[in-house]
Amino acid sequence: MAGLAVGYPMSEARGGSNPDTSTLYDINGIAKAAPNWLDRLVEFIGEYGIVLGLGVLMLFAWWSVRKREDAPAAVAALCWAPLAAGIALLVNIPIRGFVKRPRPFLDHSGLEVLVKGKTDYSFVSDHATLTMALGVGLFVAHRKYGLIGIALAFLEGFCRVYMGVHYPTDVIGGLALGTAVALLLAPLAMMLLTPLARRVAETRAGRLVRSDRAVAPLVAAAGPAGRGLPEQPLHRDNDLAA
């Protein structure tokens, strides 16, 4: 709980009537009152844990969607999630350079800064952008896992403010950017990735796209010649796009 020393009057330090700054102090103030072990836990979760958790979640989703009749399209949608996250981070580079917003602890005293050495600009949050793009991209492929991913992205945003390295609006901007990239570019991405996934499904690496459980009913439906395999649309209960 070693934060920056308080040097401003309380009204100035808390940002007065500025809701962005006052919310920052309210959330970051929890870190001041929390035991050291909890701060270290939030620090790990906010820096690495949630991103790792989303990776594990994507593995579970991949294992699940491979068993569906529409496996190639579903796996293609799942592949879009990390691609969307990468594109969103690239889009954020010029945004940060244009806005040039300093980290909150550089302009405000009395914050409990859990992660040192942050010298880049604050708006928008890379972590919030990354995790929300992954969560929304995962939602395109599998609704249940996607909802968990989106919830983790919101938790990531809370952690970044708790840690004293971002304003709430930095986080909101990152969540919005990740959502916009993942959803707006999804139709084009699916047009490109779905045929690729179907091709992979026909090769020796096909089990990366479709499990034996999904192949068996399709082969039976095709008949002895193995022709006429039906192409199935994405299941409406779990998916948004094909």
Would you tell me how many other CB atoms lie within 10 Å of the CB of residue 220?
Answer: 9
What span, in angstroms and rounded, lies between the C-alpha atoms of 197 and 181?
A: 21
Residue 10: per-residue pLDDT:
42
Angle made by CA atoms 221, 226, 228, in degrees to the nearest 5: 60
Dihedral sign (CA 171, 158, 143, 73): positive
pLDDT digits (tens, 9 = 90+) for 108-117: 888 988 988 7
Nearest Cα to Cα of residue 160 among 28, 67, 57? 28
Angle, in degrees to the nearest 10, between helices 186-201 and 71-99:
140
What angle (nearest 5°) sits at the alpha carbon of residue 139, between those of residues 135 and 141?
A: 120
Rounded Cα distance between 171 and 215, Å, is 43
Say what the pTM is: 0.80
Rounded to an integer, what distance in angstroms lies between the CA atom of residue 156 and that of residue 175?
10
How far apart, in Å, are the Cα atoms of 5 and each of 1, 61, 72, 146? 11, 45, 55, 41
In order along its 242 residues, the chain shows pLDDT tens digits of 444 333 333 444 455 568 999 999 999 999 988 999 999 999 999 999 999 999 999 999 999 888 888 889 889 999 999 999 999 999 999 999 999 999 999 888 889 889 887 888 999 999 999 999 999 999 999 999 999 999 999 999 999 999 999 999 999 999 999 999 999 999 999 999 999 999 988 888 888 888 765 554 444 444 454 444 444 444 444 554 43
Q: What is the pLDDT of residue 225?
A: 47
DSSP letter for 226, please. Answer: T
Task: Give the total residue count for the chain.
Answer: 242
Exposure string (b/e) for 93-132, b if CB count within 10 Å is 16 or more? eeebeeeebebbbeebebbbbbeeebeebbbbbbbbbbbb
The DSSP symbol for 207 reads G
Query: Residue 48 and residue 226: Cα distance in Å, rounded?
Result: 47
Instruction: Give the CA-trace dihedral at 187, 64, 48, 153, to 10 degrees.
Output: 50
Residue 69, pLDDT score = 84
Residue 214: the pLDDT is: 52
